[in-house]
Amino acid sequence: MRVAEIKDKAIGPGEREQPVPGLGQALIRVRAAGVNGADPVQVAGFYPPPAEAGVPDDIPGMELAGELVESRAPVPRFEPGARVMAIVAGAAQAEYAVIDERQLMPVPDALDWSQAGGFPEVFATAYDALVGQGNLRSGHRLLVNGAGGGVGTAAVQLGRVLGADVTASVRNEANRAAIEDLGAHRALAPDEAYEHGPFDVVLELVGAPNLVPSVKALGAWGTIVVIGVSAGQEGTLDLRRLMTKRGTVRASTLRYRAPEEKAILARELETSVLPLVADGRLRVPIHAEFPLTEVTAAYERFTAGGHVGKILLRCD
């Protein structure tokens, strides 16, 4: 089968044997797989999949959509041929992939293959961060730092449908109108965005340099949820100011969680998020699609930045 292969810290097309599902796993014929911020980091030699996941560390990809070929679950949820999607520990960027069957979600009719391939990672991450970690509620004030990326666009939409007042921090001025179109009440330069606090929840997708201004802009009992550190992972935290605000700083990632945790999150998404996709209130903006054989070009476009919407690999 064709795969995206990491070799000598570079990404390119490759060939592998088709994987065989074990007990409790499902074999998926992948139709589309998203490119996410963690993928180039893995190519560079960092952020590998957890060893216990049993997936090769030289095939990237953490989300996919495709058709169920075979399930070896004791009581399968899906029949062969079903349209499914999922977050995975790795190796999504291939023609076939195996996954714990419990992590699969049905693909709503409203999503085509590309949209489905770009949905699981960003919406699962955003939902877990905002609802699971930040306890975002209707009427809250939300700041999304780094709203132009995939998780950022998902967080903006989720914040809006949850009834929050959404401020989006977007460095690229050309992208701000698109972020407002997705649901942000205002998309502003980082310095201007902080002026619209105090915030109940700050979703941090940029990293350590934002800790000081984020704590300053935090409201009483507010929460900062760190899920991205592209601009730095070590910073200054004003503990006294955090104490006076009774604030909380949390940090989270999905990749290294146990399959059971990911399965629970998948059920929450099915209940709370997929209906919003089905009725059109949430969407997956697509910036560009590439065939799997052009994976190098896909990664170059992703790392170039400056875009709003997902970069997708079509594996069919």
Domain ranges in the chain are: 2-119+257-314, 122-251
Which segments within the chain are labelled E, that is strand? 2-7, 10-15, 25-35, 63-71, 83-87, 96-100, 105-106, 141-145, 165-169, 186-188, 199-204, 218-226, 248-251, 286-291, 310-314
- Is the pLDDT assigned to residue 235 strictly greater than 90? no
Check the CA dihedral 116-43-103-16 and report its sign. Answer: positive
Please give the torsion angle defined by the CA atoms of residues 250, 255, 259 and 265, in that order, rounded to the nearest 10 degrees. 50
- Rounded CA-CA distance 60/5 in Å is 7
The pLDDT, as a whole number, for residue 237 is: 87
pLDDT, residue 52, reads 75
**pLDDT tens for each residue of 152-185:** 999 999 999 999 999 999 999 999 999 999 999 9
The pLDDT value recorded for residue 51 is 80
pLDDT at 295 over 80: yes
Asked whether residue 230 carries a pLDDT value surpassing 80, the answer given is no
Indicate the pLDDT class of residue 72, thresholds 50, 70 and 90.
very high
pLDDT at 262 exceeding the cut of 80: yes
Q: Domain 122-251 adopts which CATH fold? A: Rossmann fold (3.40.50)
> What CATH architecture does domain 2-119+257-314 belong to?
Alpha-Beta Complex (3.90)
Range with the lowest mean pLDDT among 22-36, 87-101, 250-264?
A: 250-264
For residues 185-201, give the mean pLDDT.
95
pTM of whole model > 0.85?
yes
Asked if 229 contacts 208 with a C-beta cutoff of 8 angstroms, the reply is yes
Q: ∠ CA 115-119-125 to the nearest 5 degrees?
A: 165
How sure is the predictor about 53, in pLDDT bands with cuts at 50, 70 and 90?
confident
Report the mean per-residue pLDDT for the chain. Answer: 95
> pLDDT band at 316, cuts 50/70/90?
confident
Mean local confidence (pLDDT), 247-272: 94
Q: Cα–Cα distance between 218 and 213 in angstroms, integer?
A: 9
Tokens, residue 181? 């179109």
d(CA 144, CA 36): 18
**pLDDT band for position 187 (cuts 50, 70, 90):** very high
Residue 54 has pLDDT above 90, yes or no: no
Taking residue 15's Cβ as centre, other Cβ atoms within 10 Å add up to 9
State whether the Cα torsion 88-93-98-101 is positive or negative: positive
Question: Which pLDDT belongs to residue 236?
Answer: 85
Asked whether residue 208 carries a pLDDT value surpassing 90, the answer given is no
